[in-house]
Amino acid sequence: MKIENKNIEDINIGIIGFGYIASGVFSLIQRQKDYLAKKIKKNLNIKRIAEKDLKKIEASSMKGLKDIKVSSNADDVLEDESIDIIVELIGGINPAYDYVYKALSSGKYVVTANKDLIANRGGELLAVAERNNVDILFEASVGGGIPIIGPLKSSLASNNISKIVGIVNGTTNYILTRMEKDNLSFDEALKKAQELGYAEKANPSSDIEGYDTACKLAILSSIAFNSRVTLNDVYREGIKDVSSDDIKNALDMGYRIKLLAIGIEENGEISVKVHPALIPISHILASIENTFNAVYVYGNYIDEMMSYGRGAGDRPTASSVVGDIIKIARNFDRKKKGIIYGCSCFEDKKFKSIDDTISKFYILIDVADKPGVLARIAEVFGRNLVSINSMIQKQTDKEKSARLIFITHEVVNKNLYKSISEISKLDVVDKVLSIIRVEDLS
């Protein structure tokens, strides 16, 4: 019901793409309409929706949807001069980039949950927004309902952020959790995630190979370090090679394995990497389970701060999308538009190659069970400046075979991988099974 108040202004919204996130946005605005009008002194009106597959809308029984102008042509939304905010929820880069570019160029604000778009071409779109004195907000592109982008751009803006560490993909976190709790193989845990709808059945690669996480890290790092980071700048490893043996070995040594997004700024250089890692069970990130996400931020004035919550789903993501709409609405002036946050990438920092970064490593190797094997492996490590912190030997099911578990001290990555290349060629080595980084998160 519309609040009758002369001081309450109408804010007209157009939505492009009407999947499960958009339906969540529509439902939230309709349900909370009176509450939001009282809270922000603005009426949020969804005026138009563009959806390529009109059957989605025709089949919907959502209250109020039948009263909205609907079209299969996005231009009907983009060219409506009465619309103030465009909400882009189709995902991907094309044609989303063209739609958002057109909206910003015509002086409309944009809200999106599109991590691929922002991670790859966000800099271009922020520049277009600035030229037209509007803004593009994208809180929902990282962490679903977790507020992290807004805080980085506002309440934490006075800090020099030195490090960001996050678990920002619910699918991979669910898989690793179930591998540990239910003693499942990777394939078994992936299948369970697909059955529950957490992972795509046809092609789960975006999640399990780390692309989704890398996009989110690029977005967070750009804001935190004030320098443009794109998907191509992020080093990436997925979780498909993490075995149930790795999970058990990590637990035995006091660690859990998580897929981490890690961004570090040091001495004007940025390191951005996504990879599975052993983290101490005592660290709070080790307790993040199933589809929950968390982002840890290190700042020179706040010290450490963590945001935690549901990282996906229609309701949490819709909450972030509508939160961005509210930010715009609160500051909205149709006669004199203004930038809400704008682009904070005012520097052009260098990137540190993954080869030159320093890490600790967990290494799992099957070898021949006979005298002299360890000495030969140790000689290779020593020659390449790799120092071993601990070593455990276990028997395998194979006769005359042993399994060696190494944890290294901090080592330059290229030295470690040079060692592994040489060790894998030794005649006493059956196979190098796993190489996973160890992050103490201190």
The CA distance from 415 to 357, in Å, is 10
The CA distance from 357 to 134, in Å, is 39
Segment holding 331, helix H or strand E: none
Task: Single out the residue of 111, 211, 229, 108 nearest to residue 164, CA to CA.
Answer: 229
* Between 168 and 54, the higher pLDDT residue: 168
The CA distance from 328 to 341, in Å, is 10
Quick one: pLDDT at residue 1?
Answer: 45
**Model confidence at 360, in pLDDT bands (50, 70, 90)?**
very high
CATH of the domain at 128: 3.40.50.720
Q: List, for residues 223-268, the tens digit of each pLDDT value.
A: 999 999 999 999 999 999 999 999 999 999 999 999 999 999 999 9
CATH of the domain at 270: 3.30.360.10
The CA distance from 77 to 99, in Å, is 10
Q: List, for residues 298-319, the tens digit of each pLDDT value.
A: 999 999 999 999 988 899 999 9
Q: List, for residues 369-401, the tens digit of each pLDDT value.
A: 999 999 999 999 999 999 999 999 988 777 889
The CA distance from 251 to 387, in Å, is 22
Report yes or no on 346 lying in a domain: no
* Between 355 and 8, the higher pLDDT residue: 355
> Are both 294 and 186 inside the same structural domain?
yes
Q: What is the DSSP string of 49-97?
A: EE-S-HHHHHT---TTGGGSEEES-HHHHHT-TT--EEEE-S-SSTTHH
Quick one: pLDDT at residue 313?
Answer: 87
Quick one: pLDDT at residue 55?
Answer: 86
Judge whether 245 and 433 are in contact, CB under 8 Å: yes
In this structure, is the dihedral angle defined by the CA atoms of residues 12, 129, 343 and 211, taken in order, positive or negative? positive
> Are both 322 and 301 inside the same structural domain?
no
Task: Single out the residue of 267, 168, 272 nearest to residue 223, CA to CA.
Answer: 272
Q: List, for residues 330-355, the tens digit of each pLDDT value.
A: 989 888 899 999 999 999 999 999 99
pLDDT at 21 over 50: yes
**Model confidence at 4, in pLDDT bands (50, 70, 90)?**
low
Quick one: pLDDT at residue 236?
Answer: 98
Report yes or no on 418 lying in a domain: yes
pLDDT at 63 over 90: no
> Are both 96 and 28 inside the same structural domain?
yes
Q: Among all chains, which residue has been given the structure tokens 């589809």?
A: 291
Q: List, for residues 84-125, the tens digit of each pLDDT value.
A: 999 999 999 999 999 999 999 999 999 999 999 999 999 999
Report yes or no on 57 lying in a domain: yes
Active-site hit among 42, 163, 216, 273:
216
> Are both 159 and 269 inside the same structural domain?
yes
Quick one: pLDDT at residue 3?
Answer: 47
**Model confidence at 210, in pLDDT bands (50, 70, 90)?**
very high
Domain that includes residue 381, residue range: 358-438
Active site residue 349: no
* Reported pTM: 0.95
Please list the alpha-helical segments (H only) found in 307-402: 314-330, 373-383
> Are both 120 and 216 inside the same structural domain?
no
